[in-house]
A and B are shown apart, each in its own frame.
Chain A
Amino acid sequence: MAAHGEADQLGTTSDSDQGELNETDAPGKSEDAILFASDDFDNLTYEGLAEEAQKPVQKGTIHAIVRQSSNDVDSRSNTPNNIDHDSSEVSAGEESVEETAEQAQITPRADNTEVPDTVDASRIEIEEEDAYNPEWKNQKKHVFILSASGKPIYSRHGKEDKLVTIMGVMQALVSFVQDAKDQLRSIVAGQHKFVFLVRDHLILVGVTRGMDSTQQMLLQLMYVYNQVISVLTHSSLNKIFKQRRNYDLRRLLTGAEKFFDNLLNLMDTEPGLLLTAVRCLPLDSSVREIIAQSIVQNAKLKDLVFALIIVKNQLVTLVRMKKYYLHPMDLHLIINLVNASESFKDAESWTPICLPKFDASGFVQAHVSYLDNDCEVCLLLLSVDRDSFFILSEAKDKIKARLIRYNALQAINASIKRTSYSTQQCGIPDLRHFLYKARSTAQYTSPELEAPYTEPAEQERLFGMYLYLHHRIHTSGRPLKILFHVGEYETLLGWVTQGFELYAVFGPLITKTSAIHAVNKLLRWIKREEDRLFILNSVTF
């Protein structure tokens, strides 16, 4: 595992003892950010979460857009296209719901066929198979979701309904501490950390024996929670549990398990989630401009909030409605949706998705299509108008035609084939790998994984080192700016400034002076490449 116990050399100030680090201009910096730049990791505290839970969810954003557009004098004869309109019909079931659609499209059907609250003997017997199964026990990271009343909802490994007892114990622990007007945050037991997050009617529990810190686990649980919201919306979730505390949420999450699975796998391999930053597909800025303009020219539609192209978990372009920004956490949920939904490859699709940071109370509708035959270039058009499929479909055809005409689709495909870039291209001999995040734009860049990090086990070890470095440099008690860590197999340098976060991995023998020298050189290299690696100007409709 990543080095333990070797001497760290910490710098609390950059200038006095690390005189050579020059913190000039953060490469990839932009005043004109496309994404919401936020330091979620540093702001993620239980106190903050509690506060957030207090305040009612603003059902602002979607509402505001809808209202604004229906005010517009508009040639479309359609009735005010508020989402409300549809939704009362939506709950066509037994209950009459007097709520606006964007608040709740999902209503539990009021039949009584739901799975009863069984903890009968047979269940427990089966359960022992999972919880005592050595393979299950050996999993490095577990994540569980249960309802406040202890009902299993999801387990990353094993079948959640075979873990009734374990979940019961977790629920008991949480409520025991709650009864004492306190809050259970984490438990450390031997090699394992247990981290708890209680939100709305859900208990989320993460268990790890990896390098993840408590705070990092908490961030991961936040993502998982947001994934639940993304599928159901915050309003429906609350409403469902208000109506029936004992509701079996698995029913509404059927088919969504793969989103959780996929998200958790992404979280273990894709540094962007940890950094709350997104990686861009390297492209000449002129090509990127053509792509963005193709979207602006052909999809300037009233209710279209965001239009984006995603390739292999990387962002190609993002065009947004003025005033509205996409949050990197929401973007990761979108990426996860695309990543985990094979069905989008069969045909143009139209699906609701809730973006919790954008508006947790309602859905936006996503028009999803692939622009190439290999199904790699995915276009998403996110609208607040549920009836706009055909307009968006037409816009998609035009966008695609223009991208082909200007060879932009070809350029994207070429960039996919070329892979990103090799560490060697940076021209720094001892540098093995790095992560660089430009904070103002919430984007990061990182070279391909190469030797010695080609095997999964080695990649996992590298990721563990990043977790360690990230944790050390963000430890809330002692915020560091620079960390130089000499490990057994490699030497790590972490550096955080106003403008960026840099995590670099060198060979074991590098000296501190050379590492600092190398990092300065690296920053200059990134600066030279920034137009290609980052999206520096934001395009709006």
Chain B
Amino acid sequence: MTSPEENMKSIEAKVVVLGSQGVGKTSVVIRYVGGMFSKAVSPTIGASFFTYKMTLDGYRVKLQVWDTAGQERFRSMAPMYYRKANAAMLVYDITSLESFYDIKDWVKELRKNVDTPIAMCLLGNKSDLDSGRKVSTAEAAEYAASIEALFFETSALKNLGIEDAFLQVSKQLLKMYETYPNSGMGLLSSPQESTDIFSHTTQNVKLPSRTDSEKPPSQGGSNCGC
């Protein structure tokens, strides 16, 4: 989509959401992207893909959010998502110590397997369940500081902290972009978009599209200029 505001720069960033089963990853993402909370959210199978658009400090920012499944059998799929991510949201449940310890495994794994800059943000979800709290705010904050991650306690149920968390992550992404505008850190996986991760899409830098459809149905000015 070409923009009317010609002068605005656009960036596209990938955000991966990681954490144990049932900590509320999907609920957090749906709260942010869809603005609601559903009690009936079901366990994620594989990974779900969401997008979110906003304008921030003179940029149009598009977040591509991968909400991964916490079930053990999908654990080995995770590298597929975090290898290309610009930011990782690490979610635990404040009422589960184990889910907090799992974060440490995730951080270790990210350190080992990701060599591009990645913004990290620790989320202690279900903050509404304070009576069942097992992870203290201070301990989590200290840990977040030690890994240089942002930290928020959130509640998808009560809509607390989530806006702020994504906003601060986006700001950090802008900062990263301004620091390394041309570093080829990670390519987007779609060949149509394989410019640098933070591409200036004002000009719609897109590679020629694959040799698929003879006639792409011209939907809303589809721009695969082949």
User: CB-nearest residue of chain B relative to A338?
Assistant: B45
- 8 Å CB contact of B213 from A253, A298, A348: A298
User: CB-nearest residue of chain A relative to B215?
Assistant: A297
Most buried by A among B21, B76, B80, B189: B76
Judge whether A348 and B71 touch: CB under 8 Å: no
Q: Which of A87-108 contact B (CB under 8 A)?
A: 89-92, 105-107
Judge whether B73 and A109 touch: CB under 8 Å: no
B191 interface contact, C-beta 8 A: yes
- 8 Å CB contact of B21 from A106, A254, A346, A394: A254
Query: Which residues of the other chain, A, contact B49 by a CB distance below 8 angstroms?
Result: 347-350, 389, 393
Query: Which residues of the other chain, B, contact A78 by a CB distance below 8 angstroms?
Result: 191
Judge whether A349 and B213 touch: CB under 8 Å: no
Query: Which residues of the other chain, B, contact A348 by a CB distance below 8 angstroms?
Result: 48-49
Judge whether B26 and A343 touch: CB under 8 Å: yes
Query: Which residues of the other chain, B, contact A253 by a CB distance below 8 angstroms?
Result: 73
Bound-state CA distance A337–B190 (Å) is 26
Judge whether B189 and A387 touch: CB under 8 Å: yes
Judge whether B71 and A351 touch: CB under 8 Å: no
B108 to chain A, nearest CB (A): 10
Bound-state CA distance A366–B46 (Å) is 9
Judge whether A347 and B50 touch: CB under 8 Å: yes
A75 interface contact, C-beta 8 A: yes
B6 interface contact, C-beta 8 A: no
Number of CB contacts from chain A to chain B under 8 A: 130
A405 interface contact, C-beta 8 A: yes
A37 interface contact, C-beta 8 A: no
User: CB-nearest residue of chain A relative to B218?
Assistant: A401
A234 interface contact, C-beta 8 A: no
Bound-state CA distance A195–B22 (Å) is 36
Could you tell me how many residues of chain A have their Cβ less than 8 Å away from some Cβ of chain B?
Answer: 52
Bound-state CA distance A255–B194 (Å) is 35
User: CB-nearest residue of chain A relative to B71?
Assistant: A255
Judge whether A351 and B113 touch: CB under 8 Å: no
Judge whether B113 and A299 touch: CB under 8 Å: no
User: CB-nearest residue of chain A relative to B65?
Assistant: A347
Query: Which residues of the other chain, B, contact A366 by a CB distance below 8 angstroms?
Result: 46
- 8 Å CB contact of B44 from A300, A301, A343: A343
A424 to chain B, nearest CB (A): 38
A232 interface contact, C-beta 8 A: yes
- 8 Å CB contact of A106 from B30, B73, B219: B73
User: CB-nearest residue of chain A relative to B75?
Assistant: A109
B39 interface contact, C-beta 8 A: no
Q: Which of B24-53 contact A (CB under 8 A)?
A: 26, 30, 40-50
Query: Which residues of the other chain, A, contact B219 by a CB distance below 8 angstroms?
Result: 397-398, 401
Query: Which residues of the other chain, B, contact A232 by a CB distance below 8 angstroms?
Result: 73
Bound-state CA distance A300–B213 (Å) is 7
B175 to chain A, nearest CB (A): 26
Judge whether B211 and A75 touch: CB under 8 Å: yes
Query: Can you name 5 extra interface pairs (CB under 8 A) apart from A232-B73, A352-B46?
Result: A255-B73, A301-B210, A343-B41, A349-B44, A398-B213
Q: Which 7 A-B pairs have the closest CB atoms?
A: A351-B46, A390-B190, A342-B42, A347-B48, A255-B71, A90-B76, A401-B219
